[in-house]
Every structure is written in C-alpha cells, then in structure tokens.
C-alpha cells in the first residue's frame, strides 16, 4: 500500500513498478486529449438542450447561452477547455501546431467576447427575480428587485461592437476546424497505403469521416452567413442558428474523436 502523505527525505521517488513512472508514460497522449475535446464539443449542445428543458428557457443560439443561468458558465468553461487544448496541441509540423494555436485563441475570443441581440426564442425566458446571475458567481441586486434577460445582457457587453469580435472569432475558429478536417487530418503518411497504392481500410474510413465533417462545418457557416446578410424572416422561428451551430460543433467533435481513435480503441492503423 503506497503512502499517500509522505514527508520523509525519500518522499515520492519514482517507483519502477508503477505504470506511469517512465518518461514515455509521463508524456501527454494527444490522441486521448483529442478524444476528450471531441466529447466536449459533442456534448455541449446536448447539455444545453437538457438544461433548457429543465429551466424552461431557450435561446436563439448556443452563443446566447453565455447569458443563461448556470449554462453560461458551462458554455464559457467548455470553450476555455477547448481553446487551451488547441493551444497546447502539437501536430506533426510547425505549421500544424501554429494553426491549432491560432484556433485556440479564437475559442478564447468566443468565450470572452459575447454575442448580442435578443437572445430569447419561443415564449422566452421568465424575468429573473431579485438577483441577476453574472459570470463567476457574481450577484447583482437591482433596486426594483426585477431584472429581465435584456437587462442581464447589457451588463456583460464590454462595448457596443463586441459582437463583431464574437462573430469574427467564431468564423475564424470554424474555418480553422474545417481546414483541419479537410487538409490536416486527411494527410497520408508512410505505412497507410496498400502495396497497390490504395489507402488502407482504417485510414480510408477516417478520411471519409473527416471530409463529411468538414463539409458540414462549411455548409453551416455558409447558411448562418447567408442569414446574417439577408435576415430570413423564417429563420428565427425554426431556431436555425442554434441547429447550424450544433451541427458545426458536432462535426468538430466527431472529427477530433476520430482523430483520437475513439480513445485509442477504433480505426487505428
């Protein structure tokens, strides 16, 4: 039984019988991290949908959940986790690592600079009585003891054009992720081809998944961009911003789960 609290002179020396004592085991397994990042991207919209059902309050887009009770903290925390992973991610070349780092800073930008506009959809969210929740567990008391969602939103906007930064970082992040799916993850390295030159089965399947997820991300970006320019009258009624954001996030999550080989269990070379 190892000693949990050890204050002696030989405390916490490497144990040769411990599985993670060697230098190789101490290295970060980036495939496993990629799998977990993919799970977070896949799970965030699902958690938001469940939370909306419990709170009986839904917003027009995933980005608008920045202003939601509890779910706003999950939204920001998930983006910070994803951004941190992308920043520390090291690919197989300097340019690949740099692209991931830039994408990570874009995720930070989405988390730090909120979107704007009326966030509610359908019947909207009820007024928040008494205390308005803010980021990092701050309570803001109103004189009339009643604050609407719009009142809450105004407290978070740093300046009038903050949403331009939000949209810019969002577009850049998804562009990076689509580029990764199309051109980085699909690269072919030594040993991934058969003798006749065809791709081996696992690599061929992975590349098909990468291409599909990249295409879905681009289609989602194009659809939301078209609505931003044309402001379709039927768009908000169908809550399409939320669903296209969800499709892009799920595609991002699936591509990185595949990159992580399903926690090193499937589609391995």
Which position has the higher pLDDT, 127 or 259? Answer: 259
206 within a domain of the structure (yes/no): yes
Which position has the higher pLDDT, 232 or 11? Answer: 232
- Of 154, 68, 148, 159, the closest CA to residue 117 belongs to 154
Number of helical (H) and strand (E) elements in the chain, helices listed first: 9, 2
211 within a domain of the structure (yes/no): yes
Residue 46, pLDDT score: 95
Q: Using CA atoms, how far apart are residues 220 and 247, in angstroms rounded to an integer?
A: 7
What integer best gives the mean pLDDT of the chain? 79
Q: Which of 93-97, 107-111, 232-236 has the highest mean pLDDT?
A: 107-111
The answer to whether 239 and 165 are in contact (CB under 8 A) is: no
- Please say if the pLDDT value at position 267 is more than 70: no
Q: How many domains does the chain have?
A: 1
> The whole model's pTM is what?
0.79
115 within a domain of the structure (yes/no): yes
Contact partners, residue 160, CB within 8 Å, separation at least 6: none
58 within a domain of the structure (yes/no): yes
pLDDT by residue (tens digit) across 128-173? 444 444 454 445 555 555 555 555 556 666 677 778 898 999 999 9
Whole domain around residue 40: which residue ranges?
A: 28-264
Neighbour-count burial for 115-151, b at 16+ CB within 10 Å, e otherwise: bbeebbbeeebeebeeebbeeeeeeeeeeeeebbbee
pLDDT by residue (tens digit) across 85-101? 999 888 777 888 888 99
pLDDT by residue (tens digit) across 21-76? 555 554 557 778 888 899 999 999 999 999 888 877 788 889 888 877 788 889 99
Which stretch of 135-139, 216-220, 226-230 has the lowest confidence by average pLDDT?
135-139
Which position has the higher pLDDT, 209 or 265? Answer: 209
Structure tokens at 69: 């009770």
Residue 131, pLDDT score: 41
Position 254 confidence tier, pLDDT thresholds 50, 70, 90:
very high
What is the percent of the chain with per-residue pLDDT over 70, rounded to a whole number? 70
- Of 185, 187, 190, the closest CA to residue 210 belongs to 185
1 within a domain of the structure (yes/no): no
108 within a domain of the structure (yes/no): yes
Contact partners, residue 42, CB within 8 Å, separation at least 6: 249, 250, 253, 254, 257
127 within a domain of the structure (yes/no): yes
2 within a domain of the structure (yes/no): no
């Amino acid at each position: 039984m190892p000693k949990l609290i050890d204050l002696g002179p030989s405390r916490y020396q490497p144990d040769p019988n411990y599985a993670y004592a060697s230098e190789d085991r101490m290295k970060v397994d980036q495939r496993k991290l990629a799998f977990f990042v993919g799970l977070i991207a896949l799970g965030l919209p699902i958690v938001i949908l469940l939370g909306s059902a419990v709170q009986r309050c839904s917003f027009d887009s995933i980005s608008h959940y920045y202003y939601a009770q509890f779910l706003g903290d999950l939204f920001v925390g998930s983006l910070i986790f994803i951004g941190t992973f992308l920043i520390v991610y090291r690919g197989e070349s300097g340019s690949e690592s740099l692209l991931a780092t830039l994408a990570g800073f874009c995720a930070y930008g989405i988390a730090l600079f909120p979107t704007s506009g009326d966030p509610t959809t359908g019947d909207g969210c009820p007024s928040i009585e008494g205390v308005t929740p803010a980021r990092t567990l701050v309570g803001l008391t109103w004189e009339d003891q009643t604050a609407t969602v719009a009142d809450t939103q105004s407290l978070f906007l740093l300046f009038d054009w903050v949403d331009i930064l939000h949209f810019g970082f969002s577009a850049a992040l998804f562009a990076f992720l689509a580029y990764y799916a199309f051109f980085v993850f699909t690269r072919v390295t030594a040993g991934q081809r058969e003798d006749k030159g065809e791709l081996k089965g696992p690599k061929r399947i992975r590349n098909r998944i990468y291409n599909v997820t990249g295409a879905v991300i681009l289609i989602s970006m194009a659809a939301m961009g078209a609505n931003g320019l044309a402001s379709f009258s039927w768009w908000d009624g169908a809550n399409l911003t939320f669903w296209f954001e969800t499709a892009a996030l799920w595609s991002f999550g699936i591509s990185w789960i595949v990159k992580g080989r399903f926690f090193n269990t499937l589609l391995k070379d």
